[in-house]
Amino acid sequence: MGISLSRRQRASLSVSVAASTVVLGLVLGAAGCMRSADPAGTESAESRPPTSERAAPEAGQPPSYAAAETAADSPTAPATDRASEQAAELAAEIPVAEIPAVPTPWRQTQPILPAGPGRPSAGLVVVPLAQDPAPAAPAPSPADAPAPEPPRCTTPPFAAAPPPEYGSGIPAMRLDVVPAWDLQTPAGLEAAAAVEWWAGNGPTHVAAAAQRALADAAAAPDEVSRDAVLVGFLADGLVKTKTLQDRIAAYQTIALGVPAVAQAAQAPLDSGDPAVVAEFLRRGQYAAAVEGAAETSRGAVLRAAEGALADGTREALMEFLRTGMLEAQAANDRQSVYALLAAATPAVWAAAQDALAAHDPLVVVEFLRAGQYAAAAKDACA
Residue 189 within a domain: yes
Is there a single domain that holds both residue 77 and residue 195?
Answer: no
- Which DSSP state fits 322? I
Is there a single domain that holds both residue 185 and residue 95?
Answer: no
Q: What is the pLDDT of residue 1?
A: 47
Residue 8 within a domain: yes
The pLDDT tens digits of the residues spanning 11-47 come to: 555 656 566 665 566 656 655 545 544 444 444 444 4
H or E element at residue 225: helix 223-232
- In the three-class reduction of DSSP (H, G, I as helix; E, B as strand; rest coil), residue 370 is classed as helix
**Domain final residue pick, 77, 101, 125:** 101
Is there a single domain that holds both residue 97 and residue 187?
Answer: no
Is there a single domain that holds both residue 83 and residue 209?
Answer: no
**Nearest partner of 17 among 63, 59, 57, 79, judged by Cα:** 63
Residue 49 within a domain: no
The DSSP bridge partners found for residue 107 are 127
- In the three-class reduction of DSSP (H, G, I as helix; E, B as strand; rest coil), residue 127 is classed as strand
Is there a single domain that holds both residue 300 and residue 204?
Answer: yes
pLDDT at 172 over 50: yes
Residue 359 within a domain: no
Q: What is the pLDDT of residue 265?
A: 95
**Domain final residue pick, 81, 101, 121:** 101
Residue 55 within a domain: no
Residue 193 within a domain: yes
Distance CA 365, CA 333 (A): 7
Is there a single domain that holds both residue 213 and residue 317?
Answer: yes
**Domain final residue pick, 294, 313, 333:** 333
Is there a single domain that holds both residue 198 and residue 328?
Answer: yes
The pLDDT tens digits of the residues spanning 368-380 come to: 999 999 999 888 8
Q: What percent of the chain has pLDDT over 70?
A: 58
Cα 56 to Cα 63, 67, 69, 122, distances in angstroms: 10, 11, 11, 24
Q: What is the pLDDT of residue 41?
A: 43
The DSSP bridge partners found for residue 128 are 106
Which range, of 51-55, 129-133, 187-191, 271-275, averages the lowest pLDDT?
A: 51-55
Is there a single domain that holds both residue 71 and residue 197?
Answer: no
**Model-level pTM?**
0.58
* Mean pLDDT score, 171-184: 91
Position 257 confidence tier, pLDDT thresholds 50, 70, 90: confident
Q: Which domain holds residue 212?
A: 180-333
H or E element at residue 11: helix 7-37
Higher pLDDT, 331 or 8: 331
Higher pLDDT, 9 or 193: 193
pLDDT at 68 over 80: no
318, 287 Cβ separation under 8 angstroms: no
Is there a single domain that holds both residue 222 and residue 90?
Answer: no
pLDDT at 247 over 80: yes
Is there a single domain that holds both residue 205 and residue 72?
Answer: no
Is there a single domain that holds both residue 212 and residue 82?
Answer: no
Is there a single domain that holds both residue 329 and residue 222?
Answer: yes
**Nearest partner of 316 among 305, 326, 302, judged by Cα:** 305
The pLDDT tens digits of the residues spanning 85-136 come to: 765 666 566 554 444 454 444 444 444 444 455 544 444 444 444 455 566 6
- In the three-class reduction of DSSP (H, G, I as helix; E, B as strand; rest coil), residue 148 is classed as coil
94, 118 Cβ separation under 8 angstroms: no
Residue 235 within a domain: yes
Q: What is the pLDDT of residue 169?
A: 87
User: Total domain count for the chain?
Assistant: 2
